[in-house]
């Protein structure tokens, strides 16, 4: 278990390097010609979607729904398929290719899947009588360790396991989860050093107060996240008839059309919607850059298209970036002297709206920005955003996991 936890930390760092290398490659290609994504995105999405469906079934999308489904006792053979090492190898390689092609995707959700598979693979060396008993705990621990190592947020990894991945008290309280999260985080820190994901933004002491503006940002960001979640679920289940038929019969061609849409959004936004969104969010928080109001909706649309195309596509990092842009836009229109605290609150609110996991959302944002003084506004924002989101959408990851379940046969 200790070796597996260390491997999760190393895999998270390696995945981050792959993502950084891919985005650097895209930036260099954009330096040659801004028209590169118009060719690269459609062709790349087409090839990646075909490879995913043909050789790496289960590597599509975020990876968190697959992990949630694999934990369930009724997951059966499909759950075991999702936990095969070949699936995560394809996920890492194809996610890197998608970032090179301009996809608006994150690596953190896929890292949850990677961590779950690595730790689950330990079962082959366990005594046979303990394999079944420990399977769920190992998948849960690996997924939580993936969050901790990807974001360098060990507390968030534990909270994520409690709130999102598992509904069983015994699994929530598992010492296996705690040990794996801690060791994975230690290895990641040893490899890349201790760091804060989004640096250490400077905010005034007034940002620690709960004001009417904070409540408004929480409600609006939660509504935005809920709408995104609802659109994702609706589009994943069924599209307008012509597009639905195209996705069913010609999935690679459908992915190419999604890639064309991503390229168009990138061109309209000045190339701001390509990649994970990390650089754009950090520029708002640390450099006080003011992005156009177009950024947040364009990034959200590009993320939705990337997800629907059927390529490996995480949602966490792009959602945080959308929230930062949305928060900055609201701060500007509310007459705030600094947009930074509202961008932080926007990240928390939008992520809570998308995931409907308030504890995970506020802990992740608090740890990623080192804003422990803002814990009360962040908690309130996450709670309000989640409540608003539930008015318009079902829980995203749990609902996506439900799609893998085979309906029972009726006699």
CA dist 313 and 258 (Å) reads 13
- Does residue 284 lie within any of the structural domains? yes
Pair (174, 295) in one structural domain: no
11 against 154, higher pLDDT: 11
Residue 84 belongs to domain spanning: 2-192
CATH at residue 64: 1.10.3080.10
> 202 and 369 in contact (C-beta within 8 Å)?
no
119-141 average pLDDT score:
68
45-58 average pLDDT score:
94
- Does residue 411 lie within any of the structural domains? no
- Does residue 74 lie within any of the structural domains? yes
Pair (174, 225) in one structural domain: no
Note the pLDDT of residue 100.
Answer: 96
Is residue 370's pLDDT more than 70?
A: yes
Pair (130, 226) in one structural domain: no
Q: Is residue 270 left, alpha or beta, with left meaning phi > 0 and alpha meaning psi from -120 to 50?
A: left
Is residue 163's pLDDT more than 80?
A: no
pLDDT-derived band at 9 (thresholds 50, 70, 90) equals confident
185-207 average pLDDT score:
68
SS3 state at 179: helix
Across 86-90, 100-104, 133-137, the highest mean pLDDT is recorded for 100-104
Pair (171, 223) in one structural domain: no
Pair (248, 162) in one structural domain: no
Pair (144, 242) in one structural domain: no
Note the pLDDT of residue 203.
Answer: 73
309-317 average pLDDT score:
93
Q: 221-244: per-residue pLDDT in tens?
A: 999 999 999 999 999 888 888 888
Note the pLDDT of residue 381.
Answer: 95
Pair (268, 347) in one structural domain: yes
Pair (219, 180) in one structural domain: no
> 404 and 65 in contact (C-beta within 8 Å)?
yes
pTM across the whole model: 0.90
Note the pLDDT of residue 171.
Answer: 46
Pair (256, 153) in one structural domain: no
Residues 6+ apart with CB under 8 A from 75: 69, 82, 404
Domains identified in the chain, total number:
2
Is residue 194's pLDDT more than 80?
A: no
- Which two three-digit tokens encode residue 71? 């934990």
Note the pLDDT of residue 135.
Answer: 66
Note the pLDDT of residue 195.
Answer: 60
Q: 346-368: per-residue pLDDT in tens?
A: 999 999 999 999 988 998 898 88
Note the pLDDT of residue 169.
Answer: 39
């Amino acid at each position: 278990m200790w070796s597996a936890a260390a491997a999760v930390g190393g895999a998270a760092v390696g995945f981050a390097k792959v993502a950084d290398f891919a985005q650097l490659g895209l930036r260099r290609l954009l330096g040659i010609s801004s028209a590169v994504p118009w060719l690269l995105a459609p062709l790349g999405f087409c090839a990646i979607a075909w490879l995913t469906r043909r050789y790496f079934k289960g590597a599509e999308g975020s990876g968190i729904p697959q992990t949630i489904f694999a934990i369930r006792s009724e997951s059966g053979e499909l759950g075991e398929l999702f936990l095969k090492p070949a699936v995560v190898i394809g996920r890492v390689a194809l996610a890197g290719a998608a970032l090179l092609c301009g996809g608006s995707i994150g690596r953190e959700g896929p890292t949850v899947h990677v961590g779950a598979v690595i730790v689950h693979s330990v079962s082959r060396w366990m005594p046979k009588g303990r394999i079944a008993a420990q399977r769920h705990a190992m998948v849960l621990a690996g997924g939580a360790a993936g969050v901790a190592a990807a974001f360098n947020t060990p507390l968030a990894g534990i909270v994520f396991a409690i709130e999102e991945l598992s509904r069983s008290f015994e699994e929530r309280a598992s010492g296996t989860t705690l040990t794996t999260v801690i060791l994975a985080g230690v290895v990641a820190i040893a490899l890349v050093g201790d760091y804060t994901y989004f640096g250490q933004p400077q905010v005034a002491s007034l940002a620690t107060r709960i004001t009417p503006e904070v409540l408004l940002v929480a409600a609006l960001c939660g509504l935005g996240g809920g709408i995104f979640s609802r659109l994702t679920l609706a589009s994943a289940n069924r599209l307008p008839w012509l597009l639905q038929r195209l996705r069913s019969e010609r999935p690679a061609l459908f992915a190419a059309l999604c890639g064309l849409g991503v390229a168009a959004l990138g061109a309209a936004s000045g190339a701001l919607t390509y990649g994970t969104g990390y650089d754009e969010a950090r520029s708002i928080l640390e450099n006080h850059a003011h992005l156009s109001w177009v950024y947040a909706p364009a990034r959200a649309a590009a993320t939705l298209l990337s997800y629907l195309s059927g390529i490996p596509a995480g949602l966490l990092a792009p959602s945080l970036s959308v929230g930062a842009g949305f928060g900055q836009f609201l701060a500007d229109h509310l007459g705030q002297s600094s947009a930074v605290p509202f961008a932080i609150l926007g990240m928390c609110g939008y992520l809570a709206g998308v995931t409907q996991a308030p504890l995970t959302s506020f802990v992740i944002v608090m740890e990623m920005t080192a804003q422990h003084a803002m814990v009360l506004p962040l908690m309130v924002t996450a709670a309000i955003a989640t409540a608003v989101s539930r008015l318009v959408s079902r829980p995203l990851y749990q609902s996506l996991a439900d799609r893998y379940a085979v309906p029972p046969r009726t006699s």
